[in-house]
Amino acid sequence: MQPQRYWREIPRRYRLEAGKCRKCGKVFMPPRLICDACRCTEFDMVRLSDKGKVHTYTVIRIAPSGFGEQVPFVLALVDLEGGVRLTMQVADCGPEDVKIGSPVKVEFRKINEVGKSGVICYGYKAVLA
Amino acid sequence: MVGICGYGAYIPRNRIKVEEISKVWGTDAESYKKGLMLEEKSVPSPDQDTITMAVEASRKAVKRAGIDPALIGAVYVGSESHPYAVKPSGTVLAEALGATPECHTSDFEFACKAGTEAMYVASQLVKAGSVKYALGVGADTSQGAPGDALEFSAAAGAAAFLFSTEKDKIVAELIDTYAYMTDTPDFWRREHMHYPRHGGRFTGEQAYFKHVVSAGKGMMAKAGMKPSDFAYAVFHQPNGKFPLRAGKMLGFEERQILTGWLVNKLGNTYSGASPLGLTAVLDEAKADDKILVVSFGSGAGSDGFVFRATDKLKAAQGLAEKTRQMLDEKKRFLEYGTYLKYRKMIIMNE
Ligand SMILES: [Zn+2]
């Protein structure tokens, strides 16, 4: 990943910063320019909850490059308290440990490293609560 | 009045037992368990490093303090395993907390003492009135060379402390500090070398005990206190035996030390070691309990702190996961092969 692209995503990767529509209150992650519910263009920044539940998940056994050492790993859709659904890895567990509805919390983790000399990209993953 | 207004710890869930390491190198597990009082140690997951653990510990500290992180004016991280050779750990930590951009940051290094150095400087900046809140963190994911005695103890963990001068927020008042330091080559790692080297038995009497005992005595003399004044004492814990012996040499009883003595199940978390011991004590302490903390870093030196728990501590204790909970619950035991993979000790193709 290019350092510039990673850098642009820091507010949501590090702090789960989302956009909340000023008119109808819908929360967007990643933040958007126009609300798809009411077409409002004004948003307030809100930080999402670090607690949630697994909505559903899949087990990755053939990983994209850079993630091969981690297989098999769990990729889940997590419903965070407050109603936003995010895709994230579930760390520190085997595929058999995760169930639909499992309570999770969000932790700060390394997502990937660009080779031995590139930038280290941090972000969020879930762990079983 | 200056003191801690929020504290937090982080311990990874992975563990490896002394027997599992001994099995591979043909050493006698029982002699390590009896001699060094070590049973198992924490191991970071492949996606964890000093920065990720510092963030998790610091988020708990902010939660317990109940402050707006934007008001944190200084962020200091002490570690001997900063992920980058050039680029601060503190910038990532401050950004993850939401403390940027009006924030001073620096990474500290002094072997196992880097964490208390960060606490020392953070507390003094707040005391001087330079910043409203300052954060001092000790975090490490240390490695011992395979087959070396250090492999049984080198572990991972982090502890974070927010300092403030606001009386209504302080959970542990900082009564006094003390530092004792000499140039002693007991343990080192040169640039580009993977593993540290140490002076074997030289690391004991001339390094650890000399500095910890001198700093403990100096701290108590400066504060006008004696061992019986303290409810708790926390010493740097490279193995189980050293802190108990140092405590005894200073006149402390085991019951004063055991609450903050985590090393038998945790291993040596280096810069996180005595700071994590302090978090375990703060989880249990009652108002007016006095706490002595003495760190140790090879090279060599010790920082001393005297804290007094306030009546605000009780309400803060339950606001985040406690240190002993992280130590005792949700553990995952690793086999030696997985441990090597997690610690990136297996040579891979590019
Ligand atoms: Zn809207």
Give a yes or no: residue B349 inside a domain: no
Do residues B262 and B336 both lie within one domain? no
Partners of residue A120 in chain B, C-beta under 8 Å: 49, 51, 83-84
Q: For chain B, what is the domain count? A: 2
- The whole-number pLDDT of residue A116 equals 84
CATH number at residue B293: 3.40.47.10
Do residues B151 and B243 both lie within one domain? no
Using a 10 angstrom Cβ sphere, with 0-12 exposed, 13-18 middle and 19 or more buried, the burial of residue B14 is buried
Work out whether strand B72-78 and strand B187-188 pair parallel, antiparallel, or are unpaired. Answer: unpaired
Do residues B36 and B149 both lie within one domain? yes
Give me the CATH code for the A49-129 domain, please: 2.40.50.840
Give a yes or no: residue B303 inside a domain: yes
Do residues B13 and B101 both lie within one domain? yes
- The whole-number pLDDT of residue B188 equals 87
Q: How much of chain B is in helix, strand and coil states, percent to nearest 5?
A: 40, 25, 35
Please state which of the ranges B20-34, B166-180, B283-297 shows the lowest mean pLDDT. B20-34
- The whole-number pLDDT of residue A92 equals 97
- The whole-number pLDDT of residue B261 equals 98
Do residues B225 and B329 both lie within one domain? no
Do residues B266 and B309 both lie within one domain? yes
Mutate to test the interface with B, among A12, A46, A107, A121 (most CBs of B within 10 A): A107
Establish whether B192 is a catalytic residue: no
Do residues B224 and B288 both lie within one domain? yes
- The whole-number pLDDT of residue A121 equals 96
Do residues B223 and B236 both lie within one domain? yes
- Please give the Cα distance from A67 to A126 (Å, whole number): 16
Average confidence (pLDDT) over B209-215 = 97
Q: Would the CB atoms of A110 and B52 count as touching at under 8 Å?
A: yes
- The whole-number pLDDT of residue B286 equals 98
Do residues B117 and B138 both lie within one domain? yes
How far away, in angstroms, is A85 Cα from ligand 1 center? 17
Establish whether B5 is a catalytic residue: no
Q: How much of chain A is in helix, strand and coil states, percent to nearest 5?
A: 15, 45, 40
Give a yes or no: residue B100 inside a domain: yes
Computed from CA positions of residues B139, B143, A128, A8, in that sequence, does the dihedral angle turn out positive or negative?
positive
Do residues B164 and B214 both lie within one domain? no
- Please give the Cα distance from B195 to B141 (Å, whole number): 12
Do residues B196 and B263 both lie within one domain? yes
How far away, in angstroms, is A25 Cα from ligand 1 center? 6
Q: Which residue has the higher pLDDT, A115 or B160?
A: B160
Claim: this prediction has a pTM higher than 0.95: yes
Domain with B12 in it:
3-170+321-342
- The shortest CB-CB distance from A69 to any of B46, B92, B330 is to B46
Partners of residue A108 in chain B, C-beta under 8 Å: 51-52, 55-56, 59, 96
pLDDT tens for A35-78 read 999 999 999 999 999 999 999 999 999 999 888 889 999 999 99
Say whether residue A108 is in contact with chain B using an 8 A CB cutoff. yes
pLDDT tens for A78-114 read 999 988 999 999 999 999 999 999 999 999 999 998 8
Partners of residue A122 in chain B, C-beta under 8 Å: 51-52, 92, 96
Do residues B29 and B162 both lie within one domain? yes
- Please give the Cα distance from B289 to B308 (Å, whole number): 6
